[in-house]
Amino acid sequence: MASWFDESRLDDERVLDGVDAVLRRLAESGARVRREANDAAEATAQAVAAAREGERPRAVLAGGPDSRLLRAVLEPWCPVPFVAWPGPALPGWVGSMDLVVVLAPVGDDSGTAFAVAEAVRRGCQVVVAAPPRSLVAEHATGRWATVLPTSTGDQLATAVVMLDYLDRVDLGPRTDPEGVAAALDSVATDCSPHRDLAVNQAKMTAIALADANPVVWGGSVLAARAARRVAESLRRVSGRTALAGDVEQVLPVLEATPRRDVFDDPFSDDPPERRPVLLVLDDGADDPLSRESRGRLQAAAAERGIRVETMTCAGADTEIARYSSLLLQGTYAAEYLRLGLVND
């Protein structure tokens, strides 16, 4: 089934009303971060006090399927060895000298519950962010186990609760949940469906990707993770190829793209071949490697006439706030792309 993109739908109130629930959930991202941080404040303070009574852990292990986000944030910062372990069983070396942290936004995963129970049995210090009556939380019972209660099922908001705890026990970078929520609120305002596409970056990005195969790149570890998540959203809404990767994975795609033919007939009845569009997620990383990689990609795009779109995160002053800002902008763009695509 052929599809085409109708950009007028992005500013059509009747069309926008039909996806109000989806866009409203995106707009409430900041509110969910505030809610989770406030609801978990007492338990977080107790966990911080208990951690300060003891010694710094030998290592930190993040368990469960959502551990990769913690890895992206903590690996460059954690002062002790850090391991992300998404499987249900724990490594053999984990013991009473180690801290096990688990994100379980929904809390019904039996494999994660098994890992938590095993960590408790081994005498580890265990901190779990999960709904208090969930399967995972029920297994986090013991002298050294703490549950940071959550309720929204939002992976990002749940991660912010855990990262706030790790920040306060000097095992992670500054988190500032209110700063994360403010950054998300700013994106929700800038990408609001009620903002005209002429001043709405997410709508403009959707238009740029309408007839293209997106190639998404982020320079830092967190921007690269955001790029993968955005590419997943773009694939899901469009059914098209959307690639995300590091420079060595993305560059060959750009270099293999034929140069644009200036003699192509723009009024031909034959649908044009979809070309890549390079979407750069810029979180402000300015290290030499990021600058060099970005320069290579932009040079290859310029040589072959490939359009380059850039998303930035001005005003976000922590790593997790910048990641959150880029991810939400990309998700808005994906939803506007879904909205504009019409099937014949």
Per-residue pLDDT of the chain (344 residues; tens, 9 = 90+): 567 899 999 999 999 999 999 999 999 999 999 999 999 999 999 999 988 888 899 999 999 888 889 999 998 899 999 999 988 889 999 999 999 999 999 999 999 999 999 999 999 999 999 999 999 999 999 889 999 999 999 999 999 999 999 999 999 999 999 999 999 999 999 999 999 998 999 999 999 999 999 999 999 999 999 999 999 999 999 988 999 999 999 999 999 999 876 556 555 555 567 899 999 999 988 889 999 999 999 999 999 999 999 999 977 889 999 999 999 999 999 999 999 998 76
Write down the CATH number for the domain with range 41-149: 3.40.50.10490
Q: Is the pTM above the cut of 0.85?
A: yes
For 180, phi and psi rounded to 5 degrees? Answer: -65, -45
- Same fold: 3-29+180-343 with 41-149: yes
Amino acid identity of residue 42, one-letter, is E
Q: Structural domain boundaries of the chain? A: 3-29+180-343, 41-149
Q: Which pLDDT score is estimated for 255?
A: 95
Helix, strand or coil for residue 311? Answer: strand
Q: What does the alpha-carbon distance between residue 103 and residue 62 come to, in Å, rounded to a whole number?
A: 8
Q: What does the alpha-carbon distance between residue 99 and residue 1 come to, in Å, rounded to a whole number?
A: 52
For 280, phi and psi rounded to 5 degrees? Answer: -100, 125
Q: What does the alpha-carbon distance between residue 315 and residue 331 come to, in Å, rounded to a whole number?
A: 19
Q: Which residues pair with 308 in a beta bridge?
A: 278
Q: Cβ distance 151 to 39 under 8 Å?
A: yes
For 268, phi and psi rounded to 5 degrees? Answer: -65, 145
Q: What does the alpha-carbon distance between residue 168 and residue 339 come to, in Å, rounded to a whole number?
A: 42
What token pair was written down for 335? 């939803």
Rounded to whole angstroms, what are the CA distances from 134 to 47, 67, 104, 123? 19, 18, 9, 21
- CATH class of the domain defined by 3-29+180-343: alpha beta
